[in-house]
Amino acid sequence: MGISTIGIPGLILILIITLIVFGPKKLPEIGSAIGQTLSEFKKSANHLIEEPTNQSLQDENKKE
């Protein structure tokens, strides 16, 4: 039961409920905040993935 099982009708229903709850003026602000959050999360995740790789490369250079 992941997000892939929601489907188009479920997404439309979620968008309609969100529109009713927050109103049309707040939706762009909410979308922007979500986009910025996801962007920061991706940057952090990439940094955590690259850090061990860079550390192992530095260790190999020290051995040479």
pLDDT of residue 38: 92
Q: How confident is the model at residue 36 (pLDDT cuts 50, 70, 90)?
A: very high
Domain count across the chain: 1
Residue 6 lies inside a defined structural domain of this protein = no
Q: Is residue 61 part of a domain?
A: yes
Say if 46 falls within a structural domain: yes
In a domain, 55, yes or no: yes
Q: What range defines the domain where residue 48 resides?
A: 24-64
Percent of the chain past pLDDT 90, that is, above it, reads: 23
pLDDT for the residue numbered 55: 65
Whether the full predicted model's pTM is greater than 0.85, yes or no, is: no
Domain assignment present for 48: yes
CA distances to 19, 28, 40, 47 from 15, rounded to whole Å, are 6, 13, 24, 33
Please report which confidence band the pLDDT of residue 53 belongs to, taking 50, 70 and 90 as the band edges. low
Q: Which amino acid, 55?
A: Q
The answer as to whether 33 is a domain residue is yes
State how far the Cα of 38 lies from the Cα of 51, in Å rounded to an integer.
20
Residue-wise pLDDT tens digits, 6-33: 788 888 898 899 889 988 888 889 889 9
